[in-house]
Amino acid sequence: MHPAKAGMMIFMLFWMWVLFTHPQRDQQPPFPLNLFAQAKTEDFIGEKECASCHRAQVESFERSAHAAYVHSPRLPIDKRGCEACHGPGNIHLEDERNPAKVMSFKKAPSAAVATACLRCHAETMHMTQWKRTSHAQHGIACTSCHQIHRSAEQRLPIEPNRLTAFPATAASLSFEQYMLKGDPVSLCSQCHQKEAAEFRMNFHHPLPEGRMICSDCHEVHPDQASGKRSHPQKGSCATCHADAAGPFTFAHDPVVGGTGEECGECHRPHGSNNPRLLKTFSRGLCAQCHTDKASTHNPGQTCWTAGCHVAVHGSNTDPLLRTP
Ligand code: HEC
Ligand code: HEC
Ligand code: HEC
Ligand code: HEC
Ligand code: HEC
Ligand code: HEC
Ligand code: HEC
Ligand code: HEC
Ligand code: HEC
């Protein structure tokens, strides 16, 4: 036999030996999926059993929006009732106080929480997409924002803050539907106080007025389409400001992303003390890039209010952006 062939044979035999004698150790799926993987049909005991020891939680779950979804007898047994989230009852009852045998959303790390919720919510997002978010990377869990057990009359854990004058009807709708811990502005503001404060500036997107919410711009659950972005891009501004976004025959480079920050080159998205949410309301706004335009170039007002470059976003008629 040719020595190269013999070498190849030995190499292959070695790998076959490795594969047969060392079965993959990683076959256990991560907690809490391992509970479901090891369960037999009879390990699911149904929620009547749970009530004998956890009456309060059975009652609070009954009145939550989720109850209607997971009670259907048409669902497979492992996606029905309490056990759909907390895992098969029999395994839990083998050793009630063992945290490895029941899914506790309060005690489990945030990755396990996401794993439990995403067993069913694959249309909202996949685990790989969730893991890329800044929230997942900082240990924020689905249950930092969502509260699953809550009766209608229970107070929300996150009280409305001064920023929000959220219309009561809109708020209660989203609490109920999305099972959030607070109205969708106060919820985010409790952790993002710096950004929330920007909405108190003289000029701001109308969140305090209850006409918008943070997630109109920020994708909390990035899916395939929005990819890994949690920051909004031009496209998301364009959904509401098509006039500013174009397309134009003569596009202004920064508006179409030619310089990187798109709309953010000139605007502060949350709020600003300048009209039109501008970074500065002076020629300085334009001079940050057009350094070649000396101060003698039409001194006076701003480059756009002086009646010159009025089509700041782009023009269909004039490459110098002087007419729309
Ligand atoms: C015989 C009583 C009993 C039954 C039946 C029972 N549990 Fe438990 N469960 C316990 C005890 C005891 C604990 C441990 C509480 C502790 O450590 O504070 C516990 C803990 C839990 C926890 C974790 C709570 C925590 O704070 O860590 C969850 C979730 C849970 N049970 C859900 C269920 C579900 C769902 C069912 C029905 C499928 C169920 N239990 C049935 C007695 C029971
Ligand atoms: C859709 C998922 C889901 C279902 C279904 C569900 N729970 Fe929970 N459960 C949670 C979450 C999430 C928490 C953490 C607190 C919260 O968000 O309300 C929790 C909290 C608990 C706790 C307190 C210990 C802990 O995990 O923090 C117990 C006990 C419990 N649930 C029992 C039950 C019982 C009994 C049922 C059935 C009537 C049930 N759960 C149905 C998601 C669920
Ligand atoms: C057993 C499967 C299952 C699990 C596990 C589950 N859900 Fe759900 N959930 C559903 C179904 C079914 C709906 C109905 C709407 C739908 O089809 O998306 C729903 C609805 C929701 C809604 C409202 C969606 C809407 O459009 O109104 C939210 C929010 C939600 N779930 C969050 C969670 C969170 C957070 C967890 C983990 C604690 C979780 N779910 C675990 C099955 C599940
Ligand atoms: C930072 C807060 C936050 C976190 C963390 C979060 N959500 Fe949400 N979720 C929201 C808000 C706010 C809404 C309301 C709709 C919207 O604005 O996107 C929502 C809506 C939903 C909906 C219904 C609408 C939809 O997109 O299908 C589901 C299902 C859901 N969340 C599941 C989850 C799951 C599962 C996780 C964890 C993997 C999670 N959420 C983590 C804030 C959050
Ligand atoms: C429980 C606290 C908490 C809540 C509630 C919360 N966040 Fe966050 N968020 C964080 C942390 C921690 C980070 C990562 C560190 C940072 O950038 O501040 C983060 C990061 C972000 C980022 C990305 C910042 C970056 O640099 O990439 C955005 C955008 C964001 N959050 C928006 C929201 C929105 C919108 C909501 C409400 C739907 C929300 N957050 C609710 C804690 C929270
Ligand atoms: C009009 C769209 C819009 C709304 C509404 C909005 N944001 Fe933003 N947000 C942006 C844009 C664009 C950026 C990225 C540019 C920047 O960093 O200034 C951003 C950046 C952020 C960041 C990251 C800041 C950093 O230092 O990286 C956080 C956190 C954040 N927003 C939270 C919020 C919260 C909380 C709310 C609601 C109170 C909110 N946003 C509402 C558009 C918006
Ligand atoms: C969900 C819709 C929505 C999105 C997305 C959105 N905006 Fe707005 N924007 C508004 C509303 C509503 C106003 C207030 C207009 C009013 O009061 O008539 C506004 C006002 C503004 C203004 C001030 C306009 C004026 O006449 O003073 C600017 C500038 C602006 N937005 C830029 C942006 C940028 C940049 C983005 C992307 C980061 C963005 N917007 C995303 C809805 C949106
Ligand atoms: C080169 C700087 C610059 C960039 C980049 C820019 N804008 Fe503007 N924008 C301005 C100026 C200057 C005004 C004030 C114009 C006025 O008052 O007539 C303005 C005004 C606006 C207004 C108020 C109404 C209007 O159309 O005059 C909106 C809305 C707006 N911009 C949205 C956007 C959006 C969305 C983007 C990104 C697609 C963007 N802007 C990018 C400079 C810019
Ligand atoms: C973030 C950088 C940036 C800012 C801010 C900016 N521009 Fe521009 N602008 C450009 C670039 C890049 C071009 C493409 C031509 C070039 O290389 O100069 C351009 C092109 C132009 C043109 C077309 C004529 C030419 O030189 O090709 C005009 C007119 C113009 N800008 C006006 C303005 C005005 C008015 C403002 C302030 C409202 C402004 N620009 C702000 C980057 C910027």
Predicted confidence pLDDT, tens digits, the chain (324 residues) = 676 777 777 777 767 666 666 655 557 899 999 999 999 999 999 989 999 999 999 999 988 888 988 888 899 999 999 999 999 999 999 999 999 999 999 999 999 999 999 999 988 889 998 998 999 999 999 999 999 998 766 777 777 765 555 555 555 556 677 888 888 888 999 999 999 999 999 999 998 888 888 888 888 888 766 654 445 554 578 889 989 988 999 999 999 877 778 899 999 999 999 999 999 999 899 999 998 887 778 777 899 988 899 999 999 999 999 999
Ligand 8 pocket check for 313: Cβ under 6 Å: yes
The vertex-247 CA angle with 289 and 217, nearest 5°, equals: 80
239 ligand 7 Cβ < 6 A: yes
Atom 27 in ligand 2: residue holding the nearest Cα = 106
* pLDDT value of position 80: 94
Nearest CA to ligand 3 atom 33: 117
Q: Is 244 in the pocket of ligand 8 (CB under 6 A)?
A: yes
Mutate to test the pocket of ligand 3, among 60, 61, 66, 172 (most ligand atoms within 8 A of CB): 66
At residue 230, the pLDDT reads 46
Neighbours of 90 (CB within 10 A): 16
- The DSSP bridge pattern shows strands 250-251 and 271-272 to be unpaired
Q: What does each C-alpha distance from 321 to 266, 295, 311, 316 come to in angstroms?
A: 16, 19, 5, 9
Residue having the nearest C-alpha atom to atom 6 of ligand 9: 286
Q: Output DSSP code: residue 314.
A: E
Would you say the C-alpha torsion 104, 105, 111, 115 has a positive or negative sign? positive
Rounded CA gap, 43 and 21, in Å?
Answer: 32
Residue 245: how many CB atoms within 10 A of its CB? 21
Q: What per-residue confidence (pLDDT) applies to 229?
A: 47
Ligand 3 site, residue 120, Cβ cutoff 6 A: yes
d(CA 79, CA 82): 9
- Kindly state if the Cβ of 140 falls inside 6 Å of ligand 5: yes
pLDDT at 171: 52
Residue 146: what are its φ and ψ, rounded to 5°? -105, 140
Burial of 161 (0-12, 13-18, 19+ CB in 10 A): middle
pLDDT score of 254: 92
CB 111 within 8 A of CB 118: no
Ligand 7 proximity of 171 Cβ (cutoff 6 Å): no
Q: Kindly calculate the radius of gyration of the chain based on its CA atoms and give it in whole angstroms.
A: 28
Give the separation between CA 86 and CA 127, rounded to whole angstroms: 19
- d(C-alpha 175, C-alpha 184), whole Å: 8
Let me know: does 18 contact 102? Beta carbons within 8 Å: no
- Whether ligand 1 lies within 6 angstroms of the CB of 224 is answered as no
Nearest C-alpha to atom 17 of ligand 1 is from which residue?
97
Question: Six-digit token pair at 8?
Answer: 């190849």
If phi > 0 it is left, if psi is from -120 to 50 it is alpha, else beta; for residue 231 that is beta
Residue 228: predicted pLDDT: 43
Q: Whose CA is nearest to atom 2 of ligand 2?
A: 85
Residue 82 has a pLDDT of 96
80 in helix, strand or coil?
A: coil
**Contact indicator for 278, 285 with CB cutoff of 8 Å:** yes
Which pair of tokens denotes residue 127?
Answer: 């685990």
Position 92 scores a pLDDT of: 98
